[in-house]
């Protein structure tokens, strides 16, 4: 009846470039944004899990086939080095997502190669960086990703990301944000691709302490649990068949 | 090759109650809100059309079976008298929508019997009436309803309608609004029900001159063209069949 | 970190009318279809649960406010007595679904008052009862409802339910069926309404042993786990608010 | 009020490889499949249009920037030479689709570079080529693409394409097919990407006379009208803005 579940295996990928040169980022994230993100997820998970971090400068960006095969959910934060990410690694991550690995794409990751590859669109948006207050409203109150999260999430200072966000129609719109400047943004979105589940979440800029915000950390943990797929891990394939 | 199309037949339904008692509404809409709405639609339609108005106080609320059978698109504004609307008329309107009549539900019409009937949910929302500025952002730039409409639509004074809006997942989210107070709202939404197309559009309160706003009028006209269904007009029915 | 979860509370509602008069139904389901459905769910659940049955002839059809308040997921099989179901009970079930109770609507339940109320459409379809073989194909292989289920599910004899099925666009299409006669049907569908999750599953007629089929039983158990909502149980309500 | 509309500009792209070597294809489509497709569209269009054909062997596959800029809707049939299609041309077609050009992807085009690029998934499926009868059922009777089309479309001989079809959730499911062998397939699907509208339609194999079938031709013509976007033609772009 009841089952002992294997621990959830989460890999937090960090670009880790701003951290090397920008003083403000170093002060906010002294051990790197990926470390703060990983700690936030660990802190709020309700299931047993193993969380590790890898970064751009690791061999193959830390995303070998072995690492991905042992990852239930990958989180992706990148910004400055999108174009330098190896196409081979992007191919590999895409194959694993379509095979059933969960993926969380964070903030400026909207312009990462892997997100554009999975969406098929430009993923462009409106932006402005002027210390806006962002309010993140729940529009799907029964979604597991919003469990225990304030409504709205109140983020005192953030970069503004606004519509039109050029993405396919999401499978689910979980959060919509407003900004002091009056813009709106679909800020928490789910997409299924192949056997994989993807969650895009926009709050989180390197120049603001967003990944220290308890509600943001809670969303990330909830989203990891949601994105993990307990079913078969296999790439959908062309199948020549006999009549049934 | 080319076809001469019959004129679009639009019926604007107005509750016409505030207009009888509230001075501010009388000043904004001296001939009734329905008249202003009808004029706005006529002014911006790009196809040949006949627009008429009917109101709550007409016999059977003006919505006899004959009137509905000769209506391609019905628009619905109500507020104070939702509960007084006859259930028989609601049944009849629902049958016509499911048979292929288009329906525009406006502003406080979110709580009308017909909208709740078609949605199956409470259609409740968050609200506040404090002269907020509303900005209506386009999130589906290729949708025919946004053709020629400013982005954002800037409405200087409006009642605030905010999330969570308790509706089924819309087929399309065309507009999302922000308010001075920081709230957000899915303000332009499409739904298919049976053979009918429904558009909900939230801007438009009796106490503000919203239906004189050129962009709002343009949206209503575009939505009438979008909601008209040139196909067969028939209620989906149980069908006992032979093997094919 | 880890949490002890309260057992899932499942209530199986059965109309229990065919069982009283039709010999073939009595032979297939000697203790009533509801008993077989309940046993099938219990047998395949992977979480701790309490499953009870109630029927049409129980006081208030067995669905008092107390029973519903203590139900995480309700399953509904009805056919002959749809019109006799009390409107008060239907109101009550709707309120509980919108508040977060899960609902499984089975087979001929497509024409139940509660399903039509939640959908807003006629819920009509094409049908033929001629011992068709039904093949139930998975079209969403990563959905938790298909876990451990054969693809296709092969049902040797079934009533045919075919398109057009007059329902709103489902949130997710999990299964699509074909029949010997060549028809197709969207046979496994999810809908969110308010805080509640709804699953419609068409296989299952009183005159065939469908609820003894191991794959069908597995689907029902998976769907109960999917439909249970661990979040807050509350009806979405109109909310007058202050600025944020 | 009324407007004189510019003629719809349709470009039919044909791979035109089977036609050069396979006798059966030559007999079915003596002037090439693209010619038959173009004639079918012209015959059934209800609006004024100019239809031209281009093929793989034309310079830049016939799809220069000038040709695409003057195309409202592009149709794509390919099979044998998918891998030989130039990546530069695929980039260019993608840009035009996201900018607002309509795209019809036909049958084996599910595995074309452009479709996989726009979907982000493997686009793989189940198949079998054994002269199955295909029945194409309408599941969205109010969609403009089904206007005047038989339900079901009865195609006496076809290759079987079955689920699981590895695509993102479609915006609309218009048709679902069954086959003699018992399989099902989501055979008519719409997707929005950027400002562009995409229709995938599976009936149509080189070895069967499917593009001579009047209902299939009607669907293609209707889909061209639906996919044409009268709005602005521009690639969604990153936009740095001022507060509103």
- As a CATH number, domain C8-120+187-227 is 3.40.50.880
Per-residue confidence (pLDDT) for residue B2, from 0 to 100: 40
Nearest CB to A231 within list C142, C229, C230: C142
Average pLDDT over residues A188-196: 98
Residue closest to B156 by CA, chosen among B138, B141, B178, B134: B134
Per-residue confidence (pLDDT) for residue B3, from 0 to 100: 47
Domain B8-119+186-227 annotated CATH 3.40.50.880: yes
Count Cα atoms within 13 angstroms, Cβ side, for A65. 4
How buried is residue C65: exposed, middle or buried, by Cβ count under 10 Å (0-12/13-18/19+)? exposed
Quote the CA–CA distance of A178 and A134 in Å, as a whole number: 6
Q: Token pair of B32, please?
A: 């009734």
Residue B229 vs residue A39, higher pLDDT: A39
Average pLDDT over residues D109-132: 97
pLDDT tens-digit readout, D145-175: 999 999 999 999 999 999 999 999 999 999 9
Position A16 pLDDT exceeds 80: yes
DSSP letters spanning A196-217: EEEEEE----TTS-GGG-HHHH
List of residues 6+ apart from C67 with CB closer than 8 A: C11, C54
Per-residue confidence (pLDDT) for residue B241, from 0 to 100: 86
Confidence of residue C1 (pLDDT cuts 50, 70, 90): very low
Are residues C222 and C149 in contact, defined by beta-carbon separation less than 8 angstroms? yes
H or E element at residue D165 = none
CATH class of A8-119+185-227: alpha beta
DSSP letters spanning B191-210: EEETTEEEEEE----TTS-G
Tell me which chain B residues have a C-beta less than 8 angstroms from the C-beta of C117.
120
Position A3 pLDDT exceeds 60: no
pLDDT tens-digit readout, D203-234: 998 999 999 999 999 999 999 999 998 788 99
Q: Is B59 left (phi over 0), alpha (psi -120 to 50) or beta?
A: beta
Confidence of residue D1 (pLDDT cuts 50, 70, 90): very low
Q: Is B231 on the interface with A (CB under 8 A)?
A: no
Q: Is A193 on the interface with D (CB under 8 A)?
A: yes
Q: Is A196 on the interface with C (CB under 8 A)?
A: yes
Are residues D135 and D177 in contact, defined by beta-carbon separation less than 8 angstroms? yes
Per-residue confidence (pLDDT) for residue C39, from 0 to 100: 98
Residue closest to B167 by CA, chosen among B205, B110, B100, B119: B119
pLDDT tens-digit readout, D24-47: 999 999 999 999 999 999 999 988
Residue closest to D61 by CA, chosen among D82, D42, D41: D82
Per-residue confidence (pLDDT) for residue B231, from 0 to 100: 82
The pair phi, psi for residue B89, each rounded to 5°, is -65, -40
Q: Are C2 and A47 within 8 A, CB to CB?
A: yes
Q: Is D83 on the interface with A (CB under 8 A)?
A: no
Which chains contact C through at least 3 pairs of Cβ atoms less than 8 Å apart?
Answer: A, B, D
Percentage above 70 pLDDT, chain C? 98
Per-residue confidence (pLDDT) for residue C2, from 0 to 100: 40
Other Cβ atoms less than 10 A from the Cβ of A157: the count is 15
Confidence of residue D4 (pLDDT cuts 50, 70, 90): low
Tell me which chain D residues have a C-beta less than 8 angstroms from the C-beta of B6.
none
Are residues B15 and B75 in contact, defined by beta-carbon separation less than 8 angstroms? no
Average pLDDT over residues B95-119: 98
Q: Residue A200: beta bridge partners? A: A105, A189
Quote the CA–CA distance of B47 and C219 in Å, as a whole number: 50
Q: How much is the mean pLDDT over chain C?
A: 95
Q: Please name the residue ranges forming H helices in A18-121.
A: 18-21, 23-28, 33-44, 65-69, 87-99, 113-119
Are residues B29 and B90 in contact, defined by beta-carbon separation less than 8 angstroms? no
Tell me which chain C residues have a C-beta less than 8 angstroms from the C-beta of D163.
137-139, 176
Per-residue confidence (pLDDT) for residue B130, from 0 to 100: 93
Comparing alpha-carbon positions, the chain C residue that sits nearest to A101 is: C142
Tell me which chain D residues have a C-beta less than 8 angstroms from the C-beta of B2.
46-48
Q: Is D148 left (phi over 0), alpha (psi -120 to 50) or beta?
A: left
pLDDT tens-digit readout, C43-57: 999 889 999 999 999
pLDDT tens-digit readout, A103-112: 999 999 999 9
Give the β-pairing of C49-55 and D184-193.
unpaired
Quote the CA–CA distance of B235 and D171 in Å, as a whole number: 24
Residue B142 vs residue D79, higher pLDDT: D79
Residue closest to B171 by CA, chosen among B133, B227, B110, B224: B227
Are residues C188 and C181 in contact, defined by beta-carbon separation less than 8 angstroms? no
Quote the CA–CA distance of B31 and D71 in Å, as a whole number: 47
Question: How close does chain C come to B235, measured CA to CA in Å?
Answer: 8
Tell me which chain D residues have a C-beta less than 8 angstroms from the C-beta of B147.
230-231
Q: Token pair of B6, please?
A: 């019959």
Residue closest to D32 by CA, chosen among D6, D9, D71, D62: D62
Per-residue confidence (pLDDT) for residue B243, from 0 to 100: 77
Count Cα atoms within 13 angstroms, Cβ side, for D239. 14
Percentage above 70 pLDDT, chain B? 98
Position C41 pLDDT exceeds 80: yes
Q: Token pair of B218, please?
A: 């343009």
Question: How close does chain B come to D44, measured CA to CA in Å?
Answer: 8
Tell me which chain C residues have a C-beta less than 8 angstroms from the C-beta of B125.
238-239
The pair phi, psi for residue B170, each rounded to 5°, is -70, 155
Average pLDDT over residues A93-108: 98
Question: How close does chain B come to D124, measured CA to CA in Å?
Answer: 26
Residue closest to C164 by CA, chosen among D216, B237, D153, D146: B237
Per-residue confidence (pLDDT) for residue C66, from 0 to 100: 98
Q: Is A151 on the interface with C (CB under 8 A)?
A: no
Average pLDDT over residues B47-72: 97
ipTM greater than cut 0.85:
yes
Q: Are C193 and B120 within 8 A, CB to CB?
A: yes
Q: Please name the residue ranges forming H helices in C50-149.
A: 65-69, 87-99, 113-119
Percentage above 90 pLDDT, chain A? 92
Average pLDDT over residues C24-35: 97
Quote the CA–CA distance of A159 and A150 in Å, as a whole number: 20
Average pLDDT over residues A166-170: 98
Q: Is B138 on the interface with A (CB under 8 A)?
A: yes
H or E element at residue D218 = helix D214-227
Provide the number of CB pairs (under 8 Å) joining chain C to chain D: 61
Which chains contact D through at least 3 pairs of Cβ atoms less than 8 Å apart?
Answer: A, B, C
Give the β-pairing of B8-14 and B73-77.
parallel
Residue closest to A34 by CA, chosen among A8, A5, A63: A63
Q: Are B46 and D1 within 8 A, CB to CB?
A: yes
Quote the CA–CA distance of D108 and D76 in Å, as a whole number: 9
Quote the CA–CA distance of D241 and D244 in Å, as a whole number: 8
How buried is residue B214: exposed, middle or buried, by Cβ count under 10 Å (0-12/13-18/19+)? middle
Q: Is B165 on the interface with A (CB under 8 A)?
A: yes
Position A2 pLDDT exceeds 60: no
- As a CATH number, domain D8-119+187-227 is 3.40.50.880
Residue closest to B142 by CA, chosen among D28, C9, D231, D32: D231
Per-residue confidence (pLDDT) for residue D242, from 0 to 100: 82
Confidence of residue B225 (pLDDT cuts 50, 70, 90): very high
All structural domains of chain D with their residue ranges:
8-119+187-227
Tell how far CA D154 is from the center of its chain.
19
Tell how far CA C237 is from the center of its chain.
26
């Amino acid at each position: 009846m009841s089952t002992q579940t294997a621990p959830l295996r989460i890999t937090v990928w960090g670009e880790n470039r701003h951290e090397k040169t920008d003083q403000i980022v170093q002060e906010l994230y002294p051990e790197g944004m990926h470390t703060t993100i990983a700690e936030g997820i660990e802190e709020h998970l309700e299931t047993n899990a193993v969380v590790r971090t890898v970064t751009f400068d690791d061999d193959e960006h830390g995303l070998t086939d072995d690492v991905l095969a042992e990852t239930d959910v990958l989180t992706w934060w990148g910004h400055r080095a999108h174009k330098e990410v190896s196409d081979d690694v992007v191919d590999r991550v895409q194959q694993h997502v379509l095979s059933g690995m969960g993926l969380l794409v964070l903030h400026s990751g909207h312009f990462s190669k892997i997100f554009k590859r999975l969406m098929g669109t430009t993923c462009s948006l409106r932006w402005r960086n002027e210390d806006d207050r962002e309010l993140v409203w729940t529009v799907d109150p029964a979604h597991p990703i919003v469990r225990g999260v304030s409504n709205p999430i109140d983020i005192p200072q953030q970069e503004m990301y606004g519509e039109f966000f050029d993405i396919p129609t999401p499978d689910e719109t979980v959060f919509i944000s407003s900004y002091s400047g009056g813009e709106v943004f679909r800020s928490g979105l789910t997409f299924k691709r192949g056997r994989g589940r993807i969650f895009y979440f926009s709050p989180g800029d390197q120049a603001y302490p967003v990944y220290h915000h308890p509600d943001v950390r809670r969303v990330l943990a909830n989203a990891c649990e949601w994105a993990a797929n307990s079913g078969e891990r296999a790439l959908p394939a062309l199948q020549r068949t006999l009549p049934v």
